[in-house]
Structure 1
């Protein structure tokens, strides 16, 4: 059974707005490598639609920066699962709708995806965390104080205790933190 890993960029004050970070080749390379290590991607509808609206065009743009294009091309090829109650058709290649009970569907996805699943959707991650389904966390902290929201895991019913496995510092000052859910 593969692990379910939640990964996202956040500012120092917890803002998860994708426009509030430092975007460079080193960061794109980090996320590309993490995606390559996973067997599939998992999105909620909102995040999927943001990705679908941007990355297929970048994958085909020969003038796109190398790191962005490489991320986009590998994302195109990766299996993408989407949780949505309002959308049923997903024309972007390799996209599959998650059907049925969320706990059962994601548990089954973990079982069938030995390399694990990478989820990058904040609202969905909160729901998955409430169900106790997230095994690891890849949180990339940007040295920015945004002063606004939305924030990570807003509304979670109780505290979760994590174990820090590793850190990685980028030239830009960004810090990648790798956590695992603490046993017990």
Structure 2
């Protein structure tokens, strides 16, 4: 069975704001490695549309090796997009989910292959509420944003996590790897 891994960048004060952080070469390499070891990534519409930037980098490389490699990997990984407003997508490696989040994820989980990444805040929250997240990879950046979208918004039940490991970056960012404490 494939694992569901929720991976996201956040500020020290718990907000998910990609404009508040500055991804460097080391961070791009980290996420390129994560994507290389995954079979599918799940996005909501907003995050998916932000990620549509990467095919342009594939066509016109930046010269930054880590960023350009990340773009190639991002371009090729299969993506499933959950949206109430998108009926189709232009990115060749992306499809719009036709079933509910729960049905789609349970089906994907049963298929052979590498783990499934969840890269959208809204999907992480929804999958947490369904009890379907096997692992969290929270990359906390040394930035206090002061406002924004909180990662764990509208989580009303206590969720106990078990720390598996950490990874520290030269920038001061730290990825915290957790699993739900009740997982066996």
**In the alignment, what sits opposite 2:97?**
98
CA distance in 1, matches of 2:39, 2:125: 21
Answering whether residue 34 of structure 2 is matched by residue 34 of structure 1, we say yes
Residue by residue, what CA displacement relative to the aligned partner does 1:80-135 show, whole Å, maximum 9, x if unpaired?
Answer: 11111111111101112211222111110111153110111001111111111111
Match of 1:83 in 2: 82
Once the 2 structures are TM-superposed, how far is the Cα of residue 177 of structure 1 from its aligned partner? Answer: 0.9
Query: Where does structure 2 lack aligned partners over 5 or more consecutive residues?
Result: none
SS in 1 for 2:17: coil
Q: Match for residue 71 of structure 1? A: 70
| More displaced 10-residue stretch of structure 1: 13-22 or 106-115 | 106-115
Residue number in structure 2 paired with 1:48: 48
Aligned length: 183
* C-alpha contact 1:166 1:179 (8 A) present in aligned 2: yes
Alignment of 1:97-136 (within 5 A): 97-136=96-135
Runs of 4+ in 1 over 2 A off after TM superposition: none
What RMSD over aligned residues (CA atoms) do the two structures have, in Å? 1.2
Structure 1 equivalent of residue 2 of structure 2: 2
Shift in Å, 1:14 = 0.5
Return 5+ residue gaps in structure 1 as ranges.
none
Q: Kindly indicate whether the alpha-carbon contact (under 8 Å) linking 1:14 and 1:151 is maintained by their aligned counterparts in 2.
A: yes
C-alpha displacement at 1:29, in angstroms? Answer: 0.5
In 2, Cα distance between the equivalents of 1:19 and 1:34? 21
How far is 1:157 from its partner?
A: 2.5
Over residues 112-171 of structure 1, what are the superposed CA-to-partner deviations in whole Å (9 max), with x where a residue is unaligned?
Answer: 153110111001111111111111000001111111121112111212111111101111
Using the size of structure 1 for normalisation, the TM-score is 0.95
